[in-house]
Amino acid sequence: MYLQHFRLNELPFTLTPDTAFFMGSAGYRDALNVLLVALRSGEGFTKVVGEVGTGKTLLCRTLLKTLTPEFHIAYLPNPYLRPSSLLLSIADELGIKYPKRATQHELLSRINDGLLASHTEGRRVALCMDEAQAVPLQTLETLRLLTNLETEKTKLLQVVLFGQPELDKVLDDPAIRQLRQRITFSYQLQPMDREGVEEYLRHRLAVAGYDGPRLFDSRAVDLIYRGSGGVPRLINILAHKSLMAAFGEGEARVGKVHARRAVEDTDDARSVTRTGVGVLSWLKRLWSRFAGLFGAIAAIGIALELRHLSRLIG
């Protein structure tokens, strides 16, 4: 690969959510702070929503790493579970023992005892659920009932939901309106702007060990920004392919031609770029069509104003 060519210690643009590459800017530090404040203040439910590839899983893993050992944490990466399976998964994550054929009532009782034990030890318990838009409604209701477990002053279980925008539609269902009303903190992850993309590229290269001059020229950054729409997962794919293209030609820097090849080789990037170009062309056509009309209206307005002034002077 291109590691030695670009003097890198590791691949900087892998798709695996590695917390070492977490970037404390472009909104991600704000999101992490919101989550930390919510959990440390004892709130029951917190929600983070973002489109596919915007970095929800990396944010979740960074949160888990930051909270340890202050919290006892249960992490469910795939919560498409029935209510009974949810309880079993939470018990397993928290290390709570239960009978082999435990009923739902027995599971709830054991989980409650485990939560109380953690509280006695001075540790809070947080449940983080990734891909929460896939959680069935009945399972969400069971989750809400779990958060009813509390002492006189604090919740015994706090929940953070990470999901795609479809999660908001799920939470709009009247059947779980009680859960929706308990979400006291929420954050919406947004794609990066052009400056954010450039900072993102520079940050990940630095973490990977690069300490040379600017590696991606400005035109390459422009193409990667347009092709990715500011979505981190697509940025990683395009940056990796751009580095491969530059390495294949023996170039020391990534230029526009390398980034263009990366975009052309990536289906999602081509569609994003074409959409952006299509919108821009449509706006230009619209402006050229109505520019003459706007000019005529302005001319009429000026003529009427001059006539009004001439009458006043006369």
Between 100 and 226, residue with greater pLDDT: 226
Maximum CA extent, the chain: 102
How far apart CA 19 and CA 58 sit, in angstroms, is 6
Alpha helices in the chain (DSSP H): 28-40, 56-67, 83-93, 104-120, 137-146, 166-171, 177-181, 194-207, 218-228, 232-248, 256-264, 267-313
How far apart CA 180 and CA 178 sit, in angstroms, is 5
* pLDDT range class, residue 307, cuts 50, 70, 90: low
Pair 110, 254 in one domain: no
Pair 57, 203 in one domain: no
13 within a domain of the structure (yes/no): no
Q: Which two tokens stand for residue 104?
A: 């739902």
276 within a domain of the structure (yes/no): no
Give 60-63 contacts, CB < 8 A, sequence gap 24+. 60/128, 60/130, 60/160, 60/162, 61/17, 61/19, 62/19, 62/22, 62/32, 63/32, 63/35, 63/36, 63/128, 63/160
SS3 43: coil
Tell me which of 268, 292, 309 is where a domain ends: 268
Pair 69, 163 in one domain: yes
* pLDDT range class, residue 290, cuts 50, 70, 90: very low
Q: Which two tokens stand for residue 21?
A: 């590459």
Cα–Cα distances in angstroms (integers) from residue 200 to residues 24, 44, 82, 152, in the given order? 10, 33, 39, 45
103 within a domain of the structure (yes/no): yes
Q: Residue 1 in contact with residue 13, Cβ under 8 Å?
A: no
Which domain range does residue 134 map to? 28-188
Tell me which of 188, 215, 236 is where a domain ends: 188
**Number of domains observed in the structure of the chain:** 2
Q: What is the pLDDT of residues 167-194, one digit of tens each?
A: 999 999 999 999 999 999 999 999 999 9
How far apart CA 242 and CA 220 sit, in angstroms, is 9
Average pLDDT over residues 11-38: 91
pLDDT averaged over every residue in the chain? 86
Proportion of the chain above pLDDT 70, given as a percent: 86
Pair 184, 210 in one domain: no
- The CATH number covering residue 176 comes to 3.40.50.300
14, pLDDT greater than 60: yes
Pair 140, 161 in one domain: yes
Pair 224, 137 in one domain: no
Pair 77, 173 in one domain: yes
73 within a domain of the structure (yes/no): yes
- The CATH number covering residue 218 comes to 1.10.8
235 within a domain of the structure (yes/no): yes
273, pLDDT greater than 70: no
Pair 63, 173 in one domain: yes
- CA contacts within 13 A on the Cβ side of 212: 13
22 within a domain of the structure (yes/no): no
Q: Which two tokens stand for residue 287?
A: 């402006």
